[in-house]
């Protein structure tokens, strides 16, 4: 897996859609639920689980740190052979 886009693409479709709509497009949980045709509770669960899976995938790819300006950064881990 390479980079953020690949990590997002690896999510199950329901999780990916909820994450993109909410976190990248800025829709509310209720709007995500309406688009997905599910309850608000289900939409929130999908967003939460998508974030967890995305975090796990990115932690395998990156060593995270804060730079001198306190910006959260990723230093790519060397690929395993």
DSSP characters for 32-60?
HHHHHTS-HHHHHHHHHHHHHHHHHHHHH
Q: At 73, give phi and psi (nearest 5°).
A: -125, 165
Categorize the per-residue pLDDT at 79 as very low, low, confident or very high, splitting at 50, 70 and 90: confident
H or E stretch at 24: none
Residue 34's pLDDT is what?
Answer: 98
Check which CATH number belongs to the domain holding 20 and give it: 1.10.10.10
pLDDT tens, position by position, 1-14: 445 568 899 899 99
Report the domain count for the chain.
1
- The answer to whether the beta carbons of residues 18 and 43 sit under 8 Å apart is yes
Claim: this prediction has a pTM higher than 0.85: no
**Structural domain range at position 10:** 3-76
CA distance 40 to 43: 5
Q: Please state, for a pLDDT cut of 70, what percent of the chain lies above it.
A: 91
């Amino acid at each position: 897996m390479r980079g953020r886009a690949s990590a997002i693409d690896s999510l199950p479709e329901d999780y990916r859609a909820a994450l993109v709509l909410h976190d990248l497009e800025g829709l509310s949980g209720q709007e995500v639920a309406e688009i997905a045709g599910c309850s608000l509770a289900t939409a929130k669960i999908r967003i939460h689980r998508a974030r967890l899976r995305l975090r796990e995938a990115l932690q395998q790819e990156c060593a995270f740190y804060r730079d001198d300006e306190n910006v959260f950064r990723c230093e790519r881990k060397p690929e395993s052979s």
